[in-house]
Structure 1
Amino acid sequence: MRLIIGIRNFVLKLLYRAVRPLIFLMDPEDAHYMFKRVGVILGSNFLTRWFTSLFFNYGHRSLNIEVDGIKYRNPLGLSAGFDKDGELTKIYPSIGFGLAELGSFTGEVCPGNPGKRLFRMVKSKSILVWYGLNNQGAEKISSRLQGVNFGKLKVGINAAKSNITPEFDLNDSIDDYTKTMKLFKDIGDYYTINISCPNTQDGEPFVDKANLDALLIAVNEHRVEGRPIYVKLAADMTLEEINIIVDACVEHKMDGVVLTNLAKPKFNQEYVKDELPFHKGAMSGLPLQRISTNVIRHVYRRTRGELTIIGVGGVFTAKDAYEKITSGASILHMISTLIFDGPQNISEINRGLVKLLKADGFNSIEEAVGSRNPLPKIKEVNEDPSDKGISSAA
């Protein structure tokens, strides 16, 4: 069966390579909305879901993993930022995803940034994003998703602060996050508190320890039993800033962290410089790959595995995914591989993970988490020589 799946994926890969140039002739945002419409149609009934699954799905028991009480059929998830209004949950399992993080959702309706806001960087295998948290708002989206059965798909609710003013007000911002949490208290499997959107008018104010403490205290007051809470960190931070946020997450008993959000070009050297199409925004994909893995390694060691880590950034192959898992990530998020490699690559990554697990003598993903990133002795945690250089990489 695995051989048949491999042949299937290879043929689909060739087909996608043939049609990709035509897709890339379209404006990136127009192409995104076109594929969203296709996804809605494919997810609308059993027959189209079954047909899609026949072409794209793959499952294996060694990919099953339980994280913070939630059982995932595999560790591959769709990252927040793709399905901003939560419209495609019916089709994700058929493509091969074990989870999907919806949003970011904001308390208020958010139009996002004006003008062109999505750009392809083909040589860099990256998407430059300048969306600015456009979404229909937590009230409308939660009303539509209320009572929806997500089936075997596990769903994360990504809450962010509305991007409607350049002025930061701490209390209003906290109320915005908690409004989304309250509206989605019966929807989904976990929360992500996104403090790191790189495309907002008032920056990233929750890098400040006092602001972050106030936010996490309020977040804890709106906990739902059995619903883990994760905090999403920026890619472009110094080691000291990373430590402040991670230590606060431990102090306030957050369940984990998402590492990391998009990378800003001015802090990054991992892309083809003459390809940068716009002076604003932040990059997904390959430019983020090494940075996010470095941060995963550091945070896993600093917290001695106490915090769950969701790895994000530059996962295009099973090897990429396995590197993040063996560095300390339990589950993963991705988007860019869908755009550059095609939807069949999700099952190909899952298929490759099974091979890598077997080669290392593991029976499950859980056994592989952090296996190539041995935890330091307690006295070394705060002065780990391997930490040096993360701030320059990030």
Structure 2
Amino acid sequence: MSFIVGLRNLLFKALYKLSRPLIFLMDPEEAHYMFKRVGVFLGSNFLTRFLTSLLFNYGHKSLKTSVDGIEYRNPLGLSAGFDKDGELTKIYPSIGFGLAELGSFTGEVCPGNPGKRLFRMVKSKSILVWYGLNNQGAEVISKRLKGVNFGKLKVGINAAKSNLTPEFDLQDSIDDYTKTMSLFKDIGDYYTINISCPNTQDGEPFVVKENLDALLKAVNAHRVEGRPIYVKLAADISIDEINTIVDACIEHQMDGVVLTNLAKPAHNKEYIESELPYHKGAMSGLPLQRISTNVIRHVYRRSRGKLTIIGVGGVFTAKDAYEKITSGASLLHMISTLIFDGPQNINEINRGLVKLLKADGFSSIEEAVGSRNPLPKLKSSQSQHTSKNAA
């Protein structure tokens, strides 16, 4: 069966490679909206979903994984930023995703940044994004998604702060996050608190511990039983800032972190500089790959595996995915591979993961998490302190 799926994937890979130059003649944002319309149509009825699944889906028992009490059919998810208004949930399982993170959603309607705001960097295998959190707002979207049966797809609700003014007000910002959480209290399987959008007017104020403490206290007050809460970190912050956020997440009993958001060109040299099309925005894909994996390794060790990690950035192959998993990630998010490699690559990554698990003697994703990133040994004083607490 795996051999037949492999042949099917090779065929679709060749077809996508032939059609990609034509697709890339389109404006990137127009192409995005075109494929969104196609996805809405394919998800609109049983027949088109079935046919799509027949052509693109793949499943295997070793890919099933349980994370924070939620059962996933596989660890591959769509990253926030693609389905900003939550319109494509019915088609995601048919192309092989186990989960999808919708949004970011903001408490208020956000038009996003003006002008051209999406750019391809083909040689760098990256998308430069300058969207600025455009979405219809949590009120409209939650009304549309209320009562929707997502089937075997697990859904994350990505909450961000409305990008309407360059002035930062702590309480207004907290109210914006918690408004989205309240409106989506009966929708989805987990929350992500996005404190890391690189394209907002007021920067990243929640790297300041006092601000973050206030936010996480409010977030905890809006917890829904059985629904984990994750915090999404930026790619371009310092190790000290990462440590501050990770320690606060542990202190406030967040369930995990999403690592990481997009990378700003000013802080990154892993792209072809002559290809940079715009002086603003942040990059997805290959330029983010090494950064996000390094942060995953650091956070897994810093938290001693206490925080669930969702890895994001530069996952194009099963090897890329497995590197993040064995570094400490339990789940993965991706977008860029859909654009550069085609939708069949999702199930090709899943198929490759099965082989890599088997080669290492693992029967599940859970067994592989962090397997190549051993946790540091506790110092004797720490060990004694832990033993006393346990007693």
TM-score in same-fold range (> 0.5): yes
* Residue pair 1:301, 1:381 contacting (<8 A) in 2 also: no
Q: Deviations over 1:291-320 (max 9, x none)?
A: 000000000001110000000000000000
For the residues of structure 2 that align with 1:323 and 1:287, how far apart are their CA atoms? 16
Long gaps (5+) in structure 2: 383-391
Report the residue type matching 1:215 in the other structure: L
Report the CA distance between 1:171 and its aligned residue: 0.3
Residue equivalent to 1:373 = 373
Whether 1:295 and 2:295 are equivalent positions in the alignment is yes
Residue equivalent to 1:388 = none
Report the residue type matching 1:151 in the other structure: G
Correspondences of 1:1-394 after superposition (within 5 Å)? 1-379=1-379
Report the residue type matching 1:100 in the other structure: A
* Residue pair 1:72, 1:154 contacting (<8 A) in 2 also: yes
Q: SS where residue 240 of structure 1 aligns?
A: helix
Distance 1:86 1:8, change over 3 A: same
For the residues of structure 2 that align with 1:363 and 1:279, how far apart are their CA atoms? 46
Report the residue type matching 1:104 in the other structure: S
Report the residue type matching 1:110 in the other structure: C
* Residue pair 1:79, 1:312 contacting (<8 A) in 2 also: yes
Report the CA distance between 1:344 and its aligned residue: 0.1
Report the CA distance between 1:380 and its aligned residue: 10
Q: SS where residue 378 of structure 1 aligns?
A: coil
For the residues of structure 2 that align with 1:7 and 1:381, how far apart are their CA atoms? 56
Report the residue type matching 2:23 in the other structure: I
Report the residue type matching 2:250 in the other structure: V
For the residues of structure 2 that align with 1:35 and 1:379, how far apart are their CA atoms? 53
Report the CA distance between 1:195 and its aligned residue: 0.0
Report the CA distance between 1:378 and its aligned residue: 1.8
* Residue pair 1:102, 1:156 contacting (<8 A) in 2 also: yes
Residue equivalent to 1:385 = none
Q: Deviations over 1:160-182 (max 9, x none)?
A: 00000010000000000000000
Residue equivalent to 2:388 = none
* Residue pair 1:302, 1:381 contacting (<8 A) in 2 also: no
Number of aligned residue pairs = 382
Distance 1:245 1:38, change over 3 A: same
For the residues of structure 2 that align with 1:380 and 1:186, how far apart are their CA atoms? 46
Which 4+ runs in 1 deviate beyond 4 A? none
TM-score when normalising by structure 1 = 0.96
Report the CA distance between 1:42 and its aligned residue: 0.1
Report the CA distance between 1:379 and its aligned residue: 3.0
Task: Report the identity percentage.
Answer: 86
Q: Deviations over 1:18-41 (max 9, x none)?
A: 000000000000000000000000
Q: Deviations over 1:58-104 (max 9, x none)?
A: 00000000000000000000000000000000000000000000000
* Residue pair 1:261, 1:312 contacting (<8 A) in 2 also: yes
Report the CA distance between 1:381 and its aligned residue: 12
Q: SS where residue 37 of structure 2 aligns?
A: helix
Report the CA distance between 1:286 and its aligned residue: 0.1
